[in-house]
Structure 1
Amino acid sequence: MVTAFDEALTCLKDEKIRITPQRIAILEFLTEVQTHPTAEEVYQAIEKRFPGISVATVYNNLKRFTELGFLKEMNYASASSRYDFSLKPHYHVICESCGKVADFYYPKLDDVEVAAAQLTNYTVKSHRLEIYGICPNCQQVEGE
């Protein structure tokens, strides 16, 4: 079975981009983490293995991965962009307190593009849904 990590490596090779240990570490972190990390979180996770790596290197690689299409940059109202390695159709619930992002998929929402196209005569190419609330961890803190 081909994994998202394998597909990303193949894409890098196809684009003639060097496969460095730092790039592999960034990709491994993105595929293993179940959150939507910021660039700073990616940096903090891999700088232990690569003490000489700079934040700029992490940002540059995340930008390149986004340009190649196997990583999605998520810009929300919060200060820092978050990155999503899962390109399967899904939606996000965002904690208004800590900024944590959780994925969910609700198939009945697939029809929203058809409805939007019919109601507006637009050629709809994609959609994005964000739901805001308070995550379970922050609910516990607020309840204390």
Structure 2
Amino acid sequence: MEFLLPYKITIWVIGLVGLLLLLQLIVLDVVILSKKHIPGFAIEANHEHFLFRANRALANSNESLGIFIVFVLFALFSQPTAHWVNGFAVVYLFGRVGHMLCYYFNLKVIRSIFFVVSLLGLIGLFITAIMAWL
């Protein structure tokens, strides 16, 4: 486990990403309850409704979560320079938080920018791990 010490920030980011998902789930559940949405019925695809945006924010986070976990594991076991892995993990987290907030406040263009930021974090993690093998 000592080999993970230089990646402490990345380990924290993993926990914070989990917390972010939990917060998104809580927000969605509160909105579902307040809107009296019936479970099992589709949510109307309308960006003007906060229920739809909260649902999409959580779904989008879930869509990139698996890639993040796989790339972090790839990077940790490849043991590249820790500051690159830590940095790209923080970039990913920053992008996801920004994306979520922009979804909640219906800021479509800025939301896309934050999506690209989180994508750059993922790509950076992958490339950093690859470079450790070369």
Interval containing the TM-score (normalised by the shorter chain)? under 0.3
Structure with bigger strand share is: 1
Q: TM-score, normalised by structure 2?
A: 0.24
Whose RCO is larger (CA < 8 A, sep 6+)? 2
The structure that has the greater radius of gyration is 1
Q: TM-score, normalised by structure 1?
A: 0.23
Structure with bigger helix share is: 2
